[in-house]
């Protein structure tokens, strides 16, 4: 059995008047994530983790943020593209883990919805999809409420 590990990281600025979309779930808040696409920082980190496990570059190589085609794009398609590339190469996802670092709002009430949304996107059972939340303890751009970060890890197996 071939095993592949991948990790991903992403960050986006928080801006008034933008939706806060995390793992495909819209969290009600006065600020949202700025970006060329829908700026779903968790889907972006997870996409890079899957691409990383396959050594297929990063999200910007597959979906350039200069292309008008991806303006306002639903990031679900980026993640599903990476999962499709894994399947085409004979790899299946075993489990994923992730962390969203955001000072406010509290996200724990959205954990179930985000896990299920991520699981659906990946074609996995929610039992093997972990989503954790952390503040940055008021330190740095995340801690000052200016940005949000996400980290992701995946394990793939192939034959
Ligand atoms: O960052 P800190 O360790 O203080 O976070 C404490 C807990 O608060 C975390 O374990 C997480 O469950 C929750 N949390 C949250 N939403 C955030 C940040 C943290 O629900 N934006
Ligand atoms: Mg991004």
Residue 119's CATH number: 3.30.1330.50
* pLDDT cut 70: percent of the chain above it: 100
Sign of the Cα torsion 95, 4, 75, 18 reads: positive
Residues 6-50: pLDDT tens digits?
999 999 999 999 999 999 999 999 999 999 999 999 999 999 999
Q: What are the beta bridge partners of residue 151? A: 9, 99
Partnered with residue 20 across adjacent β-strands are: 27
| pLDDT: which is higher, 71 or 134 | 134
What separation in Å is there between the alpha carbon of 149 and the centre of ligand 2?
A: 9
Q: Is the minimum distance from the CB of 134 to ligand 1 under 6 angstroms?
A: yes
Residue 97: strand pairing partners: 153
Q: Residue 146 is part of which domain span?
A: 2-158
pLDDT for residue 58 = 97
How many angstroms separate the alpha carbon of residue 51 from the centre of ligand 1? 28
Decide: 133 in ligand 1 pocket, CB within 6 A: yes
The model's pTM is 0.97
Atom nearest to 105 CA in ligand 1 = 21
Question: What's the pLDDT score for residue 133?
Answer: 98
Question: What's residue 52's pLDDT?
Answer: 98
Residue 67 pLDDT more than 90?
no
pLDDT beyond 90 at 98: yes
Cβ of 138 less than 6 Å from ligand 1? no
Mean pLDDT, the chain, rounded, equals: 96
* Count of domains forming the chain: 1
Nearest CA to ligand 1 atom 8: 134
Mean pLDDT of 118-127: 98
Contacts by residues 60-64 (CB-CB < 8 Å, ≥ 24 positions apart): 63/37
Count other Cβ atoms within 10 Å, centred on residue 2: 10
How far is Cα 59 from Cα 52, in angstroms, rounded to an integer? 10
Ligand closest in space to the Cα of 33: 2
Q: Ligand 1, from 134, 143, 150, 151: best to mutate by most atoms within 8 Å of Cβ?
A: 134
């Amino acid at each position: 059995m071939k095993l592949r590990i991948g990790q991903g990281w992403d960050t986006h600025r928080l801006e008034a008047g933008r939706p806060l979309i995390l793992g495909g779930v819209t969290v009600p808040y006065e600020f949202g994530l700025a970006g060329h696409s829908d700026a779903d920082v968790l889907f972006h980190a997870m996409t890079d983790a899957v691409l990383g496990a396959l050594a297929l570059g990063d999200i910007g190589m597959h979906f350039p943020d200069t292309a008008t085609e991806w303006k306002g794009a639903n990031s679900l398609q980026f993640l599903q593209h990476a999962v499709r590339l894994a399947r085409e190469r004979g790899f299946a996802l075993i489990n994923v883990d992730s962390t969203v670092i955001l000072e406010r709002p509290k996200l724990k009430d959205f954990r179930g919805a985000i896990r299920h949304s991520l699981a659906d996107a990946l074609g996995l059972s929610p039992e093997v999809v972990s989503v954790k939340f952390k503040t940055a303890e008021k330190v740095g751009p995340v801690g000052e409420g200016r940005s949000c970060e996400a980290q992701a890890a995946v394990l793939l197996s192939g034959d």
